[in-house]
A = this chain, B = another copy of it.
Amino acid sequence: MKKKGPTIQDVANRAGLSKAAVSRYLNKSINLPEETGRKIDEAVKALGYRRNSIARRLSKGGSETIGLVVPEISNPFFSEMAEAVEQTASERGYNLILGISRNHPDKEIGFLRWIDDSIVDGLLFVTNRPGNRRLQLDIRRYRSVVLLDEDIPGTVQDKVFCQNVEGARDAVRYLIRTGHRRIFHVTGPVSLMSVKERLDGFRLAHEEAGLPCSDNHIFHHDYSQQFGRDVVRDILSRPALPDAVFAASDYIAIGMLEELKRNGVRVPDDMSIVGFDDTTLAGLVTPKLTTIRQSAAEMGRIGATRLLDALAQPGVLRGVTRIAASLVVRDSVLDRRE
């Protein structure tokens, strides 16, 4: 029942050589004459030798594994990201280990320890708790961490975000261009960089168009479907309805869609809605959601590439990379120009 596989010593014995020769040959760190190489190859094949990766990690000090830490994986944005990261990692011979933080700072910090513990060589990190002081202080100690999607202020790592300002500005520009004048913004907590930046874009588009932009047209809470539903009740209780809403996430937009429907408000006839993210859900709801597309896959791919490059060649920081955010027109916005 033991199934102890053959060790490198067994291979060496069979080939009539030393461990060192076999190891170096297998790692291509030595040039051996053809005949010798053949003997090793033969022994490896005959014994079915596979090197023990744990032992290898111990002596090399690396794990050939990277980690991805996300708040949740059942959110399509993160699962699309994970898919791309796994793809990129596996193309370069790395394994991917998954950490799900459920937004607990303790878990997040625990995942950082993976680096100390040589469980991973580096980490791709997404957090929704940028304000956590401990995390902030802690994360700076770690090189080989790449931040995705949301920033943690005061950190110096490589980072990959999307063009939040431009995306939001384009969304609102589009609403203005299609004749909307009273636009609300429903978004997440002010602590998040993406929220701040999308709000900047929202304001920018208003300024460009010479439109006023009141603070009480802005609703902060979180990027959830539930908030989308709740905010609708809030909005409907007000004297004047907006003719459009720019929601800073598809989840919010979808929650709103649902609740508006329940209240007999037709989208887009009575109210237009634009979302943000373009997860797979956006094309599935009715009406199909017009939204700003940011590719979670691209973010994952670029982040993983950055990280793997950094591991291969330490010391080279590339700073912040921005991926595109572009408008995808579907059915949730009505053209109101007469």
Query: Which residue numbers of A lie inside 8 Å of B, CB to CB?
Result: 1, 5, 50-55, 57-58, 63, 65, 72-76, 78-80, 82-83, 86-87, 90, 95-100, 107, 113-114, 116-119, 254, 280-281, 284-286, 314
**Complex interface: chain B residues within 8 A of A73 (CB):** 73, 79, 82-83, 86
Given contacts A74-B76, A96-B98, A54 and B50 within 8 Å (CB-CB):
no
**Residue numbers in B under 8 Å from A99 (CB-CB):** 86
Task: Tell me, in angstroms, the Cα distance from A113 to B51 when the chains sit together.
Answer: 11
B residues in contact with A55, CB < 8 Å: 58
**Do A53 and B117 form a contact, CB below 8 Å, given A80-B74, A83-B72, A100-B86?**
yes
Residues of B within 8 A of A1 (CB): 314
Can you name the residue of chain B whose Cβ is closest to the Cβ of A280? Answer: B74
* Max count, chain B CB within 10 A of own CB: residue among A73, A95, A117, A285: A73
- Complex-state Cα separation, A1 to B315, whole angstroms: 10
How many Å lie between the Cα of A38 and that of B5 in the bound state?
41
What 7 A-B pairs have minimum CB-CB distances, sorted nearest first? A286-B286, A79-B79, A53-B117, A54-B118, A97-B97, A74-B79, A86-B100
Shortest distance from the beta carbon of A213 to any chain B beta carbon, whole Å:
31
B-side contacts of A58, CB under 8 Å = 52, 54-55, 58
Q: With a CB–CB cut-off of 8 A, which chain B residues contact A280?
A: 74
Asked if A52 and B118 sit within 8 Å, CB to CB, the answer is yes
What is the minimal beta-carbon distance from A75 to any residue of chain B, in angstroms? Answer: 8
The contact sample of 6 A-B pairs, CB cut-off 8 A, is A52-B118, A54-B57, A74-B79, A95-B97, A281-B281, A284-B284
Pick the residue among B63, B72, B75, B90 that contacts A54 (CB under 8 A): B63
B76 near A83 with CB under 8 A, answer no
